[in-house]
Structure 1
Amino acid sequence: MEPFGTSHGSPQPPHPHLRQDPRPRSRRRPRVRPGGLLLAAALVAGGLLPFTLGGTAQASASNGGDVIANLFEWNWPSVASECTTVLGPKGYGAVQVSPPQDSIRLAGTSHAWWDVYQPVGYDLSSRMGNEAQFKAMVTACHNAGVKVYTDAVINHMSGNDQPSTDSYGGDSFNVTAKTYAAVPYGPADFHAYPANCPNPDMAINDWNSQQQVQECDLSNLADLNTESDNVRSKIAGYLNKLIADGVDGFRVDSAKHINQADMANIESRLTNTLWGQRPYVLQEVYTGSTGNLAPAAFEANGSVIGFDYAYAMKAQFQGNIANLRTFGQSWGLEPSDKDGAMVTNHDTERNGSTLNYKNGSQYTLATEFMLAWGYGVPSVYSGFAFNGSDDSPPAASNGMVTATDCSSAAWVCTDRNHGIANMVGWHNAAQGQPVANWWDNGNNAIAFSRGAKAWVAINNSGGAVTQTFSTGLRAGTYCDVIHGDTTASGSCTGPAVTVNAAGSASVTVPAGDSVALYGAGTATPPTSPPPTTPGYVAETFHEAEAAPSGQQVYLVGSLPALGNWAPASAIALSTSNRSAWSGTVSLPANTSFEYKYILKDASGNVTWEPGNNHTASTGAGGGTLNDSWGTQSGGGTNQVTVAFHETKAAPSGQQVYVLGSIPALATWNTQAAIPLTVSGQTAWATTVAMAPNTSFEYKYILKDASGNVTWESGANRTAGSGATGVTLNDTWK
């Protein structure tokens, strides 16, 4: 909330985020400038005991994502519903909710949004709902795998010039006397002149003075004396009550105005969350001041809201997005592990310093870029429509927020936007992968991949862009998730894009739009042969197999264009009668290769064709291969079955796989490892067909949904397939 600083002690220009208010001071309504992201930064304080659950139910497992949905001033039942029906299924890792404590309620019917940033007590009765509704919301979100972060207003209480004595929860308070009975706080619990603030009116006159910024009143709000152990204890008690109710982290409102040592002391008193972790902390620290008031000075206590990130997004998407090729810390941003990335929040969207929903495609594309780029922890903001900067969310006459209706123009549900919601899954799939295959046209169209996991093209211009892009993806046909969804059978409800064996794809990106691809490329393949590039030929595969209902035949083999034996990258074949399957793939000319057919069901379970691998060569002009399930070109099905039984209590969200030294065991390729199925939580099993009397080495691994691999320890296991097959009974080591 402070003006941007120049040099220390120099006159300060007006803060672009504070509207100049012509009303007399006595009638002004202070507006705190909360911002909207919480970075998952573990702030470990030594000596803390693990959190004891007591009578509170253990939280369900987190889905592991890091994207935050900031549902600004949605009421608690609406947040609960969104977690269950949208955020969890789409892969959002957390939801940020507005301050849950009791706050002042001003006379009249306007009920501006900012009254929830003027606390009068720490009980959980707010305009978003009561404590029972809050707890039910947290439970619903946890059950959907979504963490809950609350906005924590702990720098101050209500405004000194507010005549109201009414609150949403009924707490008793006296602004003039500085008494808040529900906490309780008294006059000694607040900063005062001249003991703390050097200015008689308690105003902040020098925004580079740490004393004034942290010990005077921010916008005439009663500033808590956080140096006091009594105040620290009561703030920590409030936050620990929220943790006991299941809250996983906090956005610390006006953190810039709390001395860093005081904040560290408060954090040291906090218990662990229901997931056994330290609470996540992100601090509201506006840019502009120098020295110990600059955002970097607060990093020891957690992360900082990405105002710098949001300002850059507006500048580039209203300028030239080709500049984003170098976007990151070199631009002066906070380090990625400390920057809470955002395109907007409820303060900045109102003062015009960042993009907002009124900017249309620029706002949507900037949000999609944020999810794709992988810098910081991204927050997707969903609020309500407004005309004036003080407008209330949709509410009853008493100010209580009514249910969110995303079909109404009164609410702006950005988290549900089809492309943005699907880019959360794209973001999760691309985690840990570097930016690669950058392309731009020097102006307002860009494209890039995240390793070999995902690719996106963004067109911020007024005309369509058609280009052959290097995507970095494996060959296959991919669903454009901006405009469609991949169904359980692998087909796409929208447009599909074919990536050839060289990783290239010809794509048209409409004006003000984007195209995004990720996954294994399992969308229904085109019926006509795919385009080929020099040195490649079209090879057509026909397979006779009466596939069971609900299963589809795929092709996988030894070349990159055939998935490198990875079932997740296998090529989906098409059929008209479920007994004859076919597909055409662009392969390198004059190249020998091996291949097999597999079955996949809607859950992704794989059944391998028995027998030896098929062998073939593309020749100079490609050709057609006619096969039948289980019959190899070498003749017969001379195979035996090796059964793998493994005992392992796998962590939630992880699965046991087996791989080894021979092609039937993926030749140590973790992407092609064979999944085991589980019964009784610890008994994993699968069978693999291989040649008889074959010696091999093997091991078991764990994989999570993002493809991260954990190997069992020790030396490789050794075995042989025997003359008639064998069963191997193992225990994880």
Structure 2
Amino acid sequence: MFLSKVSLCLTLIFVLCSRNIEAQFNPNYASGRTTMVHLFEWKWDDIAVECENFLGPKGFGGVQVSPVNENVVAASRPWWERYQPISYLLTTRSGNEQQFADMVRRCNNVGVRIFVDVVFNHMTGDNVNARGTGGSTADPSNKSFPAVPYSNLDFHPTCSINNYNDKYEVRNCELVGLKDLDQSKSWVQDRVVDFLNHLISLGVAGFRVDAAKHMWPEDLEKIYNRVNNLSTTHGFDTGARPFIFQEVIDLGGEAVSKNEYTNLGVVTEFAHSNSIGKVFRGKDQLRWLINWGPQWGFLNSDRALIFVDNHDNQRGHGAGGADILNYKTSKQYKMASAFMLAHPFGITRVMSSFAFDNTDQGPPTTDGQNIASPIFNDDNSCSGGWVCEHRWRQIYNMVGFRNIVAGTAIQNWWDNGSNQIAFCRGSKGFVAFNGDSYDLNTSLQTCLPAGTYCDIISGVKSDSGCTGKRVEVGSDGRATISITQAEEDGTLAIHFESKL
């Protein structure tokens, strides 16, 4: 009897731990929402307003925000200074702790979750008398960061990463000279856990773990398991775990594999970004998208955080090189984004950029130091140096499309044997793409009830009107779909809520 009770207790512990870990794969979105946006380098006050005025009403599920902790003040204020920590104080060019907490509260109130980009693989590199955005100072050359505090006892010995086929070098040496923390040490684990738990107490829903590839999975597991459940006072369910998505760049051929991290949390699937760029640049035919997903070498859908571009590879950094699409190739970029959002694979993230002419350039400023707020135009677009892809009609309407068709499968796939494709999402939505150098004009099965529908790519539904194309669906569910080669957009999309 005693043994059976012990066995039962062990089983219960195992089940509870399993549920605990599994919960880290749930983005904790409000009901009916499926996609996050990365508002790269936005200020906290501006994000709060954007949640209330745009993201919430348009059905976005969450925001990935730039690193929130104090970073080094670098000459000319490049974007990458945010990835060189000085301390875990919540003071950056985006705002202070009070502004951050207010943003999280206001976004949660309108059903938009906040995911923090957390940097704890390393501290800053060699900057003599380094000064941080919160006024803290450090001596990186001696691995001294008193505002944490960290000393040279908390870091790996100095060495450079020269060989990515040596996993020990990748995880124990310094990434581009940044002082590499030793996450196996209890003091370091304590400081990181305190930092993450503080963010949870302020209402965040999860974390993007920067440079996870450069940390040992067993060390990350210890840290993740000590992080608190999400805050019920901020509206999360009892026992809800923070969503964890880890940056692991893996296009194959290296010692560290993305598969080593999938039991800990979701992984950023850079192979998706690389492959979708090749397809919509014309290096692969669209017809091959029929088996999009793990057959392309991607992780399983529930483990893959997917995107067309991110803040690194849109600048040619990280992985993918010239194949990566960004806002500068706008037609192909919108088509790739629409396909990502129309297809059921993966956990989707939309990029929202500022314009850049060189790869180091930081966000727009008012005076060379302080970040400028985006300027919003009458057509919802941004100016003032901000691109705001998430405000492009072709993208935010497809975020809504993904919400509407959630839970349905692809059916009635059609292609012309080349670069024209179309498919239904159950009986809720239909999408078509023309990547050829000639027009698409043919009768296709939409899987939708008879009626007139507004194409959400070329326009928006307004009461009983439509500012874009109208699609007439017959009693058999078929419609004549037309996308000319010369059109601004190479995509057409309709769903049951776009019926006029």
TM range (shorter): 0.7 to 0.9
Query: Which of the pair has more CA radius of gyration?
Result: 1
Which residue of 2 is the match for residue 395 of structure 1? Answer: 365
Which of 107, 115, 118 does residue 152 from structure 1 map onto?
A: 118
AA at the equivalent of 2:496: G
**Mapped pair 1:330 → 2:300:** no
AA at the equivalent of 1:184: P
**1:456-506 CA distances to partner (integer Å, 9 max, x unpaired)?**
11122344321111111122221211123233x444343321211111001
The more displaced of 459-468 and 215-224 is 459-468
Shift of 1:513: 2.2
Change (3 A) 1:460 1:231: same
**Mapped pair 1:218 → 2:175:** yes
Which of 81, 84, 91 does residue 52 from structure 2 map onto?
A: 84
**1:513-555 CA distances to partner (integer Å, 9 max, x unpaired)?**
21111015640xxxxxxxxxxxxxxxxxxxxxxxxxxxxxxxx
* Structure-1 separation of matches of 2:330 and 2:389: 11
**Contact 2:268–2:306 (8 Å) recurs in 1:** yes
* Structure-1 separation of matches of 2:484 and 2:190: 56
Shift of 1:141: 1.0
* Structure-2 separation of matches of 1:507 and 1:138: 43
**Contact 2:278–2:323 (8 Å) recurs in 1:** no
Query: For the aligned residues, what is the CA RMSD?
Result: 2.0
Identity %: 38
Shift of 1:68: 0.9
**Mapped pair 1:71 → 2:39:** yes
Shift of 1:206: 2.3
SS at match of 2:86: coil
Shift of 1:327: 1.2
**Contact 2:461–2:498 (8 Å) recurs in 1:** no
Q: How does 1:649-660 map to 2 (within 5 A)?
A: none
Which of 324, 334, 339 does residue 364 from structure 1 map onto?
A: 334
Which residue of 1 is the match for residue 281 of structure 2? Answer: 318
SS at match of 1:95: strand
Which residue of 1 is the match for residue 11 of structure 2? Answer: none
Which residue of 1 is the match for residue 86 of structure 2? Answer: 120
Shift of 1:409: 5.7
Q: How does 1:302-701 map to 2 (within 5 A)?
A: 302-319=265-282, 320-351=285-316, 352-397=322-367, 399-406=369-376, 407-408=382-383, 410-487=385-462, 489-511=463-485, 512-520=489-497, 522-523=499-500
AA at the equivalent of 1:228: K
Which residue of 2 is the match for residue 240 of structure 1? Answer: 197
Change (3 A) 1:185 1:422: same
* Structure-1 separation of matches of 2:499 and 2:179: 59
**Contact 2:281–2:323 (8 Å) recurs in 1:** no
AA at the equivalent of 1:305: T
Which residue of 2 is the match for residue 701 of structure 1? Answer: none
**1:334-353 CA distances to partner (integer Å, 9 max, x unpaired)?**
11111111100011111134
Shift of 1:357: 0.8
SS at match of 1:458: strand
**1:208-258 CA distances to partner (integer Å, 9 max, x unpaired)?**
222111111111100001000110111011011111111111110000011
Shift of 1:75: 1.1
**Contact 2:129–2:137 (8 Å) recurs in 1:** no
**1:87-145 CA distances to partner (integer Å, 9 max, x unpaired)?**
111111111110000000024xx211000000001011001111111111111211110
**1:255-278 CA distances to partner (integer Å, 9 max, x unpaired)?**
001100110000011111131310
* Structure-1 separation of matches of 2:388 and 2:416: 32
* Structure-1 separation of matches of 2:16 and 2:45: 32
* Structure-2 separation of matches of 1:237 and 1:155: 15
Q: Which has the higher contact order (CA 8 A, sep 6+)?
A: 2
* Structure-2 separation of matches of 1:44 and 1:322: 44
Which residue of 1 is the match for residue 144 of structure 2? Answer: 179
**1:185-216 CA distances to partner (integer Å, 9 max, x unpaired)?**
111011115xxxxxxxx012321222111111
AA at the equivalent of 1:516: A
AA at the equivalent of 2:395: I
Query: What TM-score, normalized to structure 1?
Result: 0.60
Which residue of 2 is the match for residue 102 of structure 1? Answer: 70
* Structure-1 separation of matches of 2:348 and 2:477: 28
* Structure-2 separation of matches of 1:164 and 1:384: 30
* Structure-2 separation of matches of 1:301 and 1:44: 15
**Mapped pair 1:162 → 2:127:** yes
* Structure-2 separation of matches of 1:445 and 1:125: 49
**Mapped pair 1:204 → 2:161:** yes
AA at the equivalent of 1:261: E
* Structure-1 separation of matches of 2:16 and 2:137: 36
* Structure-1 separation of matches of 2:112 and 2:429: 24
Query: Which structure 2 segments of 5+ residues have no match?
Result: 1-14, 21-27, 317-321, 377-381
**Contact 2:127–2:139 (8 Å) recurs in 1:** no
Query: What TM-score, normalized to structure 2?
Result: 0.88
* Structure-1 separation of matches of 2:403 and 2:107: 19
* Structure-2 separation of matches of 1:345 and 1:45: 33
**Contact 1:282–1:302 (8 Å) recurs in 2:** yes
Which residue of 1 is the match for residue 10 of structure 2? Answer: none
**Contact 1:173–1:181 (8 Å) recurs in 2:** yes
AA at the equivalent of 1:87: L
Change (3 A) 1:362 1:46: closer
* Structure-1 separation of matches of 2:391 and 2:244: 26
Shift of 1:291: 7.8
Decide which structure has greater helix share: 2
**Contact 2:306–2:346 (8 Å) recurs in 1:** yes
* Structure-1 separation of matches of 2:203 and 2:85: 21
Change (3 A) 1:142 1:521: closer
* Structure-1 separation of matches of 2:16 and 2:459: 42
Change (3 A) 1:309 1:44: farther
* Structure-1 separation of matches of 2:157 and 2:266: 29
SS at match of 1:301: coil
Query: Which structure 1 segments of 5+ residues have no match?
Result: 1-42, 49-59, 194-201, 524-733
SS at match of 1:300: coil
**1:605-650 CA distances to partner (integer Å, 9 max, x unpaired)?**
xxxxxxxxxxxxxxxxxxxxxxxxxxxxxxxxxxxxxxxxxxxxxx
Q: How many residues align?
A: 458
**Contact 2:251–2:270 (8 Å) recurs in 1:** no
